[in-house]
Amino acid sequence: MTSHPSPGVAVIGAGMVGRAHANAFRNAATVFDLDQPAPRLVAIADLHQPFADDAARRYGYERAETDWHAVIDSADVDVVVVAVANSLHREIVEAALAGGKHVLCEKPLAPSVHDAQAMVEAAAAAPAQVDAVGFTFRRSPAINAIKQQVEQRLGPVRHFVGNYWCDYGFDPQRPMSWRYLGGPGTGVLADIGSHMADLAEFFCGPTTGVQGTTMATLVTDRPKPLGVAVGHAGGVRVSDERVPVENEDVCTFTTSYGNGAVGTFSLSRVAFGHANTLRFDLFCENGTASFDLTRPAEFHIIDAGPATEVNGARTVFLGPWHPYLAHGLPMDFPTVGHGQNDFFVYQARALLDQIAGIEKLPPCPDMAHGLHNLRVLQAVVAATDKPVQL
Ligand SMILES: NC(=O)c1ccc[n+]([C@@H]2O[C@H](COP(=O)([O-])OP(=O)(O)OC[C@H]3O[C@@H](n4cnc5c(N)ncnc54)[C@H](O)[C@@H]3O)[C@@H](O)[C@H]2O)c1
């Protein structure tokens, strides 16, 4: 067993995703080979002290902070996870990189291509440190199993159909939060469409064109929160005063890829009853594969294998012969199940391995990758259709 120094981890932001990261680093050394020491769980920082305290206690971090600068200035922190609103990413990432930290920043990397470009430059000026962006769905065992099948059996993708539907915004009484602020493209497109555009590229390669974008804001104002609104802002009391929503609830568009493949996308944050439905179908030269995040530990495949009379979509339950699962779960046999929180553990492990120079898992996408993703989103906004009135 190789011995590596144990890096100190801090998470900035103890909201919805900050807690997933805090949990992930706690578990990162428990999966896969025993060639990584457990990281030191040093600090959780959140502007709202109760959140910082809660997450630090819950996940076993040494201290809670309310000012992120305290984390950046700490000599015992080696790795910083940036898990706050998009508009705060740049300042924190630049300071963390300048402070000598390895940085994993949440997606979308920044609110604009301009900010993302500056962050990439800051990362380039710190070549000894790992810079990464959190496209967590790349760590899904099922999504990786489908990729293997595309490469081994199904052949090149002809058509990627991606739908990401959430319902966090369907209720007009849900309070205003950072998710509803910013110009066109900073709403559902940046929030969940960034994941979908990235997944399409995972299978089809770089996007070469975007066509036919439609964006709509269906809940045009929201009440001011009376408490701290976190995550999707449920359960917070609201005032009678309403403020305008600045970005889109729904977004649809079409993409092209270098191999002639086409992508069609449907994104919504007002899809009643769909808490977190990320699903896609891949129509390939020799078959079809489908994934649905509501059933994350399985996928469907149709190919020319079985006789026509009994052919159809087969459900494959993931097991230890699929990517990530051997020692990736305490019980790693089919039908035990796993989910999105596990993807964060695999991402955390990949980052720690990268820092230690261990090359076993695919490396985390870097900030240049996050910049590219923002360029795709920028193209989606630029491809907004001129409506033809009837
Ligand atoms: N990879 C994924 O699957 C995934 C999932 C959800 C969110 N995200 C991304 O993660 C980021 C955070 O999203 P979220 O849903 O967790 O947001 P959130 O609103 O739930 O949490 C943000 C937290 O940041 C805290 N905060 C605000 N200002 C701060 C400051 N100056 N210093 C320290 N803390 C501060 C808030 O109190 C809150 O607890 C966003 O970039 C989002 O796009 C990624």
Nearest CA to ligand 1 atom 28: 47
Question: Distance from the CA of 68 to the center of ligand 1, in angstroms?
Answer: 13
Beta strands at 262-268 and 250-257: parallel, antiparallel or unpaired: antiparallel
Residues of the chain with CATH 3.30.360.10: 141-295+297-338
What is the reported pLDDT for 223? 96
Residue 20 Cβ inside 6 Å of ligand 1? The answer reads no
Residue 370 Cβ inside 6 Å of ligand 1? The answer reads no
For 127-182, write each residue's pLDDT tens digit: 999 999 999 999 999 999 999 999 999 999 999 999 999 999 999 999 999 999 99
Question: Distance from the CA of 82 to the center of ligand 1, in angstroms?
Answer: 8
What is the reported pLDDT for 385? 78
For 301-328, write each residue's pLDDT tens digit: 999 989 999 999 999 999 999 999 999 9
Question: Distance from the CA of 18 to the center of ligand 1, in angstroms?
Answer: 6
Question: Distance from the CA of 179 to the center of ligand 1, in angstroms?
Answer: 10
Taking domain 8-136, whether its CATH number is 3.40.50.720 is answered by yes
Residue 179 Cβ inside 6 Å of ligand 1? The answer reads no
Is 62 a residue whose pLDDT tops 70? yes
What is the C-alpha separation between 146 and 149, in angstroms, rounded?
5
What is the reported pLDDT for 230? 76
Residue 12 Cβ inside 6 Å of ligand 1? The answer reads yes
Mutate to test the pocket of ligand 1, among 21, 84, 367 (most ligand atoms within 8 A of CB): 84
pLDDT > 90: percent of the chain: 94
For 181-240, write each residue's pLDDT tens digit: 999 999 999 999 999 999 999 999 999 999 999 999 999 999 999 988 777 777 789 999
Selection from 196, 191, 328 nearest residue 269 by Cα: 191
Residues of the chain with CATH 3.40.50.720: 8-136
What is the reported pLDDT for 216? 97
What is the reported pLDDT for 228? 82
Cβ proximity of 318 and 297 under 8 Å: yes
What is the reported pLDDT for 2? 47
Residue 15 Cβ inside 6 Å of ligand 1? The answer reads yes
For 355-372, write each residue's pLDDT tens digit: 999 999 999 999 999 999
Nearest CA to ligand 1 atom 38: 15
The 3-state secondary structure of the chain reads: CCCCCCCEEEEECCCHHHHHHHHHHHHHHHCCCCCCCCCEEEEEECCCHHHHHHHHHHHCCCEEECCHHHHHCCCCCCEEEECCCHHHHHHHHHHHHHCCCEEEECCCCCCCHHHHHHHHHHHHCCCCCCEEECCHHHHCHHHHHHHHHHHHHHCCEEEEEEEEECCCCCCCCCCCCHHHCCCCCCCHHHHHHHHHHHHHHHHHCCEEEEEEEEEECCCCEEEEECCCCCCCCCCCCEEEEEEECCCCCEEEEEEEECCCCEEEEEEECCCCCCCCEEEEEEEECCEEEEEECCCCCEEEEEECCCCHHHCCCEEEECCCCCCCCCCCCCCCCCCCCCCHHHHHHHHHHHHHHHHHCCCCCCCCCCHHHHHHHHHHHHHHHHCECCCCCC
Residue 261 Cβ inside 6 Å of ligand 1? The answer reads no
pTM score, two decimals? Answer: 0.97
Q: Which residue has the higher pLDDT, 84 or 385?
A: 84
Q: Which CATH class name applies to 141-295+297-338? A: alpha beta
What is the reported pLDDT for 3? 54
Residue 46 Cβ inside 6 Å of ligand 1? The answer reads yes
Read off the tokens for 193.
């469409």
Mutate to test the pocket of ligand 1, among 11, 46, 196 (most ligand atoms within 8 A of CB): 46
Q: What's the mean pLDDT in 84-99?
A: 98
For 321-340, write each residue's pLDDT tens digit: 999 999 999 999 999 999 99
Return the residue matching tokens 């002809």.
Answer: 158
Mutate to test the pocket of ligand 1, among 71, 81, 106 (most ligand atoms within 8 A of CB): 106
What is the reported pLDDT for 83? 98
Residue 45 Cβ inside 6 Å of ligand 1? The answer reads yes
Residue 190 Cβ inside 6 Å of ligand 1? The answer reads no
Q: What does the mean pLDDT of the chain come to?
A: 96
What is the reported pLDDT for 227? 84
